[in-house]
């Protein structure tokens, strides 16, 4: 679990809200839906264009976990889904 949280920490550094504050990118908008700021919550739970969000929300619903950052980062099954998706995306791209 620590590895995943570190991995998510690295992902956070690549989200546009953070990058815009550093003037690395021109916009804090999500690269997928282009409508909301790309925050950790948006990246994992709110983006309507993200397959990862659908999987995270579905996993939360299937095991009765609240769909908030603290809950998902402390539940093993949800963490497994996030880790597999992030690892697969990094491998493929």
25: left (phi over 0), alpha (psi -120 to 50) or beta: beta
Neighbours of 32 (CB within 10 A): 17
pLDDT at 27 over 80: yes
Cβ atoms of 43 and 19 within 8 Å: the answer is no
Q: Which domain holds residue 39?
A: 2-92
At how many degrees (to 10) do helices 2-12 and 76-92 cross?
50
Cβ atoms of 38 and 15 within 8 Å: the answer is yes
pTM of the full structure: 0.64
- Domain count of the chain? 1
For residue range 37-72, what is the model confidence (pLDDT) as tens digits?
888 888 888 999 988 888 888 888 888 889 998 888
Q: Which residues lie closer than 8 Å to 74 by C-beta, 6 or more apart?
A: none
């Amino acid at each position: 679990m620590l590895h995943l949280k570190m991995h998510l920490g690295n992902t956070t550094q690549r989200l546009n809200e953070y990058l815009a504050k550093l003037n690395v990118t021109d916009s804090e908008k999500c690269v997928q839906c282009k409508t909301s700021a790309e925050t950790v919550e948006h990246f994992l739970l709110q983006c309507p264009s993200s397959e990862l969000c659908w999987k995270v929300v579905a996993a939360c619903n299937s095991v009765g976990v609240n769909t908030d950052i603290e809950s998902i980062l402390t539940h093993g099954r949800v963490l497994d889904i996030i880790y597999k998706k992030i690892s697969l995306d990094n491998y493929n791209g």
